[in-house]
Structure 1
Amino acid sequence: MTQTIMIIDDEIEILDMLKRYFSLEGYHVITAAGGKEALQKLSKQPDLILLDINMPDIDGLSLCKSIRDFVSCPILFLTANTEDSDKIKGFGAGGDDYIIKPFSVDELGARVSAHLRRENRSKTKPRVLFDGQLAVDYLERTVYWDGKEIPLLKKEFDILEVLSQNPGQVFDKERLYEAAWGLDGLGNNSVVAEHIRKIRAKFAAVGAKQYIETVWGVGYKWEKASVN
């Protein structure tokens, strides 16, 4: 089945260039020259969204926040902002990746392909219960502590999924980024740390035990706990 990519950017040249590239790669491409037009076309249910941050009508961060509750597909930001703080804002808004302009279309294509592979992988994993209280449903992508849902964003669940399926195994930040994003994680240490911080805060908010342990100077691991 042909997968659909939505490209949202106010620069018509970029829209045209990316539409040609991804159409030749075999994707169905929907374009929107701004946030308002994108909102009108989201009913087409894209499999992945490429979203420019700096747009005059609705900025990409605001648009991402407003659609993330009903759009579960990967959202990849396209932006000229290069600071780590900007990346953290992007991931905090619900984005899944951060592509710096100017970019190589081949690298962008590889990132798109990697995200779609993760989305399309077989979802046959069962619901797993840790210590009788923490329930992780890998099919529904939901987490509950003692019956109370812990609301995780997409990438937060991806990180939890990688760690919880490999209890006791230490992941350095680069390997964890690569495992969760499907790409080379060099230089993304702050992104991983910010996601881990948010996961821990959400666990703490419902009184849940903290399963993600910091291995100082190395990375993170999931505590070896009893699994029912």
Structure 2
Amino acid sequence: MSTILIVDDERDMVELLSDELTARGHRVLAAYDGERGIELAGSKPDLVILDVMMPGRDGFDVCRAIRDTVACPILFVSARQSENDRVKGFSMGGDDYIVKPFGLRELLARIEANLRREERARQNIGAGVGDKAAQPLLRWGNLELDLKGMSVTVCGKPVALTRKEYEIVELLALHAGQVFSREQIYERIWGWDAEGDSSTIVEHIKKIRAKLAAADLSGDYIQTVWGIGYKWKRGRR
């Protein structure tokens, strides 16, 4: 059973979606404003459905407030349809974005797809597949990547990466020197059936670089290969 947090000021929609998710065996937490949503996020849900346009603290603000402590997928729902809004949602740490009005079946399918991806990620970690089993700790300069703990430290201090940011770092680091296009990174991290936009990779890379640079000004771990994509630059120590 998964715990799903819904944060939306449209009570009818919340009640309808809650009934459907409960019937599918999920536990549902509901918040009708951003402040309450931030409080309930402390219960560590398995997925968050977050409306963008709410009075007071909007969905982008809520996502910013919880993203560093909530590792689960965040699915934005919004009447805003522009590419800028979608990119902003992804840059805030969202994992999916669905535009209102939408069909209930589509939203339920997106929810289940995100939960399946999370479950596959947990299974892969538990199985210790590939390089993770042989070398759980990898180092590049001042950076240490803990593959089992899914964490990154720089100069001995933890770097607060979101789940997707960590997964991008892990993908590039485990294939140091190999160039990945934005589309390849998006497909590997979000899955081939994801409905988002690979442009979110640019925002995620920007945030990863800023966090790593804040911890180590001398570090330069991700290199842009212009016109192609990105690669992990530093050699293993």
- Residue 33 of structure 1 deviates from its aligned partner by 2.3
* Distance across 2 between alignment mates of 1:42 and 1:203: 26
Cα offset, 1:52, TM superposition: 0.3
Q: Deviations over 1:1-41 (max 9, x none)?
A: x1111111111232133223323333222222222443454
What pairs with 1:88-99 in structure 2 (closer than 5 Å)? 88-99=87-98
Runs of 4+ in 1 over 4 A off after TM superposition: 183-187
> How many Å separate the matches in 2 of 1:39 and 1:204?
28
Does structure 2 conserve the Cα–Cα contact (< 8 Å) formed by 1:164 and 1:222?
A: yes
Query: For this pair of structures, how many residues does the alignment match?
Result: 226
Output the CA distance in 2 between the equivalents of 1:43 and 1:213: 35
Q: Please state whether the residue corresponding to 1:210 is helix, strand or coil.
A: coil
TM-score (norm 1): 0.82
Paired with 1:183 and 1:10, the residues of 2 have a C-alpha distance of: 32
Distance 2:87 2:155 in 1: 30
Secondary structure, aligned partner of 2:13: helix
Would the aligned equivalents of 1:175 and 1:185 in 2 still touch at CA under 8 Å?
no
Are residues 1:179 and 2:188 paired? yes
**Aligned counterparts of 1:93 and 1:187: Cα–Cα separation in 2:** 14
Name 1:53's counterpart in structure 2: 52
Matches within 5 A, 1:9-158: 9-39=8-38, 41-120=40-119, 121-122=122-123, 123=125, 124=128, 125=132, 127-131=136-140, 133-158=142-167
Residue 209 (structure 2) pairs with residue 200 (structure 1) = yes
* C-alpha spacing 1:42/1:65, structure 2 compared with 1 (3 Å): same
The one-letter code matched in structure 1 to 2:230 is: Y
Partner of 2:229: 219
Partners of 1:104 and 1:160 lie apart in 2 by: 35
Change (3 A) 1:25 1:69: same
1:145·1:208 contact (CA, 8 Å) conserved in 2?
no
Distance 1:168 1:57, change over 3 A: same
After superposition, the C-alpha distances for 1:94-122 in whole angstroms (9 at most, x for unaligned) are 33322222234344333323332343323
Deviation track 1:50-80 (CA, whole Å, cap 9, x = no partner) reads 0101112431122222333433322211112
Residues in 1 aligned to 2:233 and 2:107: alpha-carbon distance in whole angstroms:
35
Match of 1:162 among 154, 158, 171: 171
The separation in 2 between residues aligned to 1:68 and 1:198, in whole angstroms, is: 13
Amino acid at match of 2:227: G
Q: Distance in 2 between matches of 1:16 and 1:148?
A: 43
Hey, what's the Cα distance between the residues in 2 that align with 1:148 and 1:4? Answer: 31
RMSD of Structure 2 on Structure 1 (CA): 2.7
Unaligned runs of 5+ in 2: none
- Asked whether the 8 Å contact 1:6–1:29 carries over to 2, the reply is yes
In the superposition, relative to structure 1, how do residues 139 and 118 fare at CA in structure 2: closer, same or farther (>3 Å)? Answer: farther
Equivalents in 2 of 1:141, 1:40: separation in Å?
Answer: 25
